[in-house]
Amino acid sequence: MSKHVGKGHIFLHRLKFGISAFIVLELIIFVVVLLSGKNFAVLNPKGFIASAQSNVILLSAAILFTIAIPTLVILYFVAWKYRETNTHAEYDPQENHGKMFDFGIWAIPSFFMLLMAFVMIPATHRLDPRQQISSYNKPLTIQVIAMRWKWVFLYPDQNIATVNFVQIPTDTPVEFELSADESPMSSFWIPNLGGQLYAMTGHVNTLHLLADKPGDYAGSTAELTGAGFSGMKFVARASSQDNFDSWVNEAKNSPSALTSEEYAHLLKPSEHNAATLYAKTDPELFSTMLAKYAGSHDHGMHE
C-alpha cells in the first residue's frame, strides 16, 4: 500500500511541475504577444543615447538571468529531492562538502558581481547625461521648465516657446536645460530617446539627447507630482532639419507671445493643457525664474 502511495506522490509532484512549466510558458507567450507591434519605448530606441542604454539593459538582464535561472532550477530540484515523501534521499546537515565547494559558493556570485561592475561602471560614465554628444551639427539648446502640471519649452536661439510640445531636428545633439518653477520635483523623460533626469526648482540639470529617426515620441514625468500628474505629458517630435526650420517659422508667426504676464498665467496650476506655440519670449525669462530661488538654492545658473 505504501509503495502505491509513494508512486502517487511522485506522480503528483511531476504533475505540479508540468503545470508550473506550462503556466510559465503561457506567461512568456502572453508577454511576447502583448508587446508585439507595440512601442515598448525603453526597448525601442530612436536615438543614440537610447540605443546605448537599451544595450546596457539587455546585457544586464542577460547576466542576471544567467544567475537567476540556474538558481531557481537548483532550488526546485533540491526542494523536490528532499521532500518529506522521498524516503530514499539522505541528508546529513553535518556533512563537510570540502573547500572547493565552499570556494564555489562564494566565487560564482563574486564573479557575476564583478562582471556586472565591469559592464555598469564604464556605461555609467559613458552615458553621463551632462556629457555632450559629438556631432558635425551644431547643438540645439532648449530650456525646460516643469510647472503644475505642464511643461514649458524655451528656444533661446530661435526666440520661440511651446507648452507640452517640443520639436527637434534628427541627427542634431540637443541640450535640455531642466528646471522647475513652483512645482514638485519632476522627471523629464522621453523613453524612446533616453533616460530621465530631474527638473527641480532653483537648479539646472543638463540632459543631452539625440534622435536619429523621425517620429512623434511620448514624453512625461516619471513620478507622481500631484492631482494633475496624469495630464503632465508632452509630444517630442523628431523631424528633418528642413521640417524643423519650417516649424520654427510657423511658430514665429503665432499670434501669442510668452510675456511675463502670460508666464504668470501659465504658472497657475492647470491640468491637461493643450499644446501651444509662442512667437516671442522674454529673453530673461529663464534666468529671472532661476533668480527667484537664488537666496535658498545654488541653482548653478550659467553666466
pLDDT in tens, 50-59: 999 999 988 9
Over its C-alpha atoms, the chain yields an Rg (Å, rounded) of: 28
What distance in Å separates the CA atoms of residue 103 and residue 95, rounded to the nearest whole number? 16
Joined together, the cell numbers standing for residue 9 give 506522490
Amino acid 9: pLDDT = 58
pLDDT surpassing 80 at residue 259: yes
Lowest mean pLDDT among 18-27, 65-74, 202-211, 255-264: 18-27
Amino acid 229: pLDDT = 87
Q: Using pLDDT thresholds of 50, 70 and 90, give the confidence band for residue 278.
A: very high
CA dist list (Å): 68 to 65, 72, 109, 112: 5, 6, 11, 11
Amino acid 303: pLDDT = 37
- Give me the chain's average pLDDT, please: 86
Q: What tens digit of pLDDT does each residue of 60-78 get? A: 988 988 888 888 888 888 8
Amino acid 299: pLDDT = 43
Answer for the pair 242, 198: CB distance below 8 angstroms, yes or no.
no
Amino acid 104: pLDDT = 85
What distance in Å separates the CA atoms of residue 159 and residue 20, rounded to the nearest whole number? 61
What number is the average pLDDT over the span 198-223? 94
Long-range contacts, stretch 32-39, CB < 8 angstroms, 24+ apart: 39/192
Amino acid 68: pLDDT = 86
Q: Using pLDDT thresholds of 50, 70 and 90, give the confidence band for residue 204.
A: very high
Amino acid 285: pLDDT = 92
Lowest mean pLDDT among 165-169, 236-240, 297-301: 297-301
Q: Comparing C-alpha atoms, which of 292, 291, 266, 296 is closest to residue 278?
A: 266
Tally of CB atoms within 10 A around 97: 9
DSSP 271: S
Spell out the domain ranges in the chain. Answer: 2-86+99-126, 140-291
Amino acid 73: pLDDT = 84
Amino acid 8: pLDDT = 56
Joined together, the cell numbers standing for residue 164 give 507640452
Q: What tens digit of pLDDT does each residue of 103-126 get? A: 888 898 899 999 999 989 999 889
Q: Look up the CATH superfamily of 140-291.
A: Cupredoxins -  blue copper proteins (2.60.40.420)
What distance in Å separates the CA atoms of residue 195 and residue 131, rounded to the nearest whole number? 13
Q: Using pLDDT thresholds of 50, 70 and 90, give the confidence band for residue 282.
A: confident
**What's the first-to-final CA gap in the chain, in angstroms?**
89
What distance in Å separates the CA atoms of residue 64 and residue 61, rounded to the nearest whole number? 5
